[in-house]
Amino acid sequence: MMTSLTMALLVSWEYTHQWPYLVLSSSFAIGAAISMWVREMIVPSHHPRVVLMLAVMLLIYSLYAFSDIARYL
């Protein structure tokens, strides 16, 4: 659910180029990545590598997005 909201906010930012959408998108990406990591630690899934790679990709996206916000400030 959080990854879907992350993608929806990212699409909104692509159309409007207003920085609050980018901030919200990257914040939700961080929350989704941490949630995936914690869930994987508590109840391991059948495909842990896929889940952890998605979490790492979300963290990389959020770092890139936060670095991109600097030009709006």
The whole-model pTM stands at 0.85
Q: Count how many Cα atoms sit within 13 Å of the Cα of residue 45 in the half-sphere of its side chain.
A: 11
Q: Which amino acid is at 12?
A: S
Q: What is the pLDDT of residue 33?
A: 94
Q: What is the pLDDT of residue 17?
A: 87
Mean pLDDT in runs of 10 for the chain (73 residues)? Answer: 88 90 92 93 91 93 89 78
How far is residue 67 from each of residues 58, 64, 71, measured CA to CA in Å? 14, 5, 8
User: Do the beta carbons of residue 2 and residue 35 sit within 8 Å?
Assistant: yes
Instruction: Provide the residue ranges of all domains of the chain, joining segments of one domain with +.
Output: 2-72
Q: What is the pLDDT of residue 12?
A: 92
CA end-to-end span of the chain? 30
